[in-house]
Structure 1
Amino acid sequence: MRRLLLALPFALLPLAIAQAAEEHDHDHQHASLSAHEHGVGRLNAALDGQTLELELDSPAMNLVGFEHAASTPADKAKVAAVRAQLEQPLVLFSLPQAANCVLSQQELNSPLFGDKPDADDDHDHDHDHKDAKDAKDADGHEHHHDHSEIHAHYQFTCSQPDALKTLDLAQVFKTFPATQKIQVQLISPNGQQGLEVTAKAATLKF
């Protein structure tokens, strides 16, 4: 499968935090590029002819509400529910019916889905908290060592791509309210842009 997004995996991300650059020092900016930050998701979007590709990466905390391996029935039910929501991208991303987009490829990956478990998944609950406490004591900030990500990749074939004037992420924020902002890299016939969207400003233009 030809993946449009591989060409510029993170090339535009510095633009997405351009506004933050005025308020943070350079070291903090650099760290934020690859940081696992709760409340913040990342979306790559590319439109090339009739092919639309979307790639969403998010801390599991934003979508599921936890990042440990699901062991209780309630946790497993929550993971299953989130996976089912991610399996409906036409609804999740509010793609306009006029564009006549059909999902041609879909890939969901996460340690919570049983994919590539994190090393820390085997750690017990107390040990995880001890690690976090030690990290907090060392520098005054709390760091968790059991981070889990959820990765969703979609490819659509849209017979009327001219109808894709905007990408509305409002349903993403509504479905996953713990997501406070999404850093977006957008590649379209009109060029490339990096920006940040929130629930109050969730629409971007192709």
Structure 2
Amino acid sequence: MHRLLLALPFALLPLAAQAHEHDHDHEHGSLAAHEHGVARLNAALDGKTLELELESPAMNLVGFEHAARSDADKAKVAGVRASLEQPLALFDLPAQAGCRVSAQELESPLFGDHDHDKADDHAHEHEHSDIHAHYQLECATPSALESLDLAPLFKQFPATQKIQVQLIGPNGQQGAELTPSSPRLSF
């Protein structure tokens, strides 16, 4: 399934105005992809498995991109990480679908869980920091997944002005730009 998400940007290339290549050696994507106020969400439903992959500039979620030095900055980063560790509170999925988190992975230089072996990676960390969250959900009744509502995510992180969504579901593939005033996408 993870391969499906990696292929998603290429499958939806005609739908995406700004497709970018995902490079595992450079977790931030391309510089052009880093736009404050804008996040990306890839979603794929395959059988009972729903995968969600959120990528956002740290500015949208934390309010800054530099390494947390002060106690206030460290508390803000810890609070954002705690929120991201609760995906069912951020992505409003129908309760009838019976989705539960089976796996999740959070990555960001701000979380202090990356080794930066290359000097240029370390320098880049101070220019732009992104937060990448990957969730795998198992849904007991996937047919009940009629929509994905991002209103709670927009409410939790108000600096996020729009989310570019690419979705593969039972009705095919689609792309959309969701905003706080239009936060829902049908599967």
Q: Given the two structures, how large is their TM-score scaled by the length of structure 1? A: 0.77
Gaps in structure 2 of 5+ consecutive residues: 19-29
Structure 2 counterpart of 1:12: 12
Structure 2 counterpart of 1:194: 175
Q: Considering only CA atoms, is the larger Rg found in Structure 1 or Structure 2?
A: 1
CA offsets per residue over residues 52-105 of structure 1, 9 Å max, x none?
Answer: 000000000000000000010000000000000000001110122111011111
- Deviation of 1:17 after TM superposition, in Å, equals 3.7
Structure 2 counterpart of 1:22: none
Structure 1 counterpart of 2:139: 158
Pair 172,45 (structure 1): closer, same or farther in 2 beyond 3 Å? same
Is the 1:68–1:121 Cα contact (8 Å) retained in structure 2?
no
C-alpha distance in structure 1 between counterparts of 2:154 and 2:124, whole Å: 28
C-alpha distance in structure 2 between counterparts of 1:33 and 1:188, whole Å: 29
CA offsets per residue over residues 132-178 of structure 1, 9 Å max, x none?
Answer: xxxxxxxxxxxxx6100000000011010011000000111000000
Is the 1:16–1:196 Cα contact (8 Å) retained in structure 2?
no
Which structure shows the bigger proportion of residues in helix conformation? 1
CA offsets per residue over residues 104-131 of structure 1, 9 Å max, x none?
Answer: 1100000000133541278xxxxxxxxx
Is the 2:48–2:141 Cα contact (8 Å) retained in structure 1?
yes
Structure 2 counterpart of 1:133: none
Pair 71,3 (structure 1): closer, same or farther in 2 beyond 3 Å? same
Q: Which amino acid aligns with 1:89?
A: P
User: SS of 1:68's equivalent?
Assistant: coil
Pair 57,168 (structure 1): closer, same or farther in 2 beyond 3 Å? same
Is the 2:41–2:165 Cα contact (8 Å) retained in structure 1?
yes
Q: Which amino acid aligns with 2:108?
A: S
Pair 14,177 (structure 1): closer, same or farther in 2 beyond 3 Å? farther
Q: How many positions carry a matched residue from both structures?
A: 171
Give the alignment partner of residue 72 of structure 1, picking from 70, 73, 84.
Answer: 70
Is the 2:8–2:42 Cα contact (8 Å) retained in structure 1?
no
Pair 13,179 (structure 1): closer, same or farther in 2 beyond 3 Å? farther
**TM alignment of 1:1-206, pairs within 5 A:** 2-12=2-12, 15-17=15-17, 34-116=32-114, 117=116, 118-120=121-123, 146-206=127-187
Following TM superposition, where does structure 1 have runs of at least 4 consecutive aligned residues deviating by more than 6 angstroms? none
Gaps in structure 1 of 5+ consecutive residues: 19-31, 123-144
Q: Which amino acid aligns with 1:119?
A: H
Identity of aligned residues (%): 72
C-alpha distance in structure 1 between counterparts of 2:128 and 2:10, whole Å: 20
- Deviation of 1:2 after TM superposition, in Å, equals 4.5
Is the 1:13–1:183 Cα contact (8 Å) retained in structure 2?
no
C-alpha distance in structure 2 between counterparts of 1:197 and 1:172, whole Å: 11
User: SS of 1:38's equivalent?
Assistant: coil
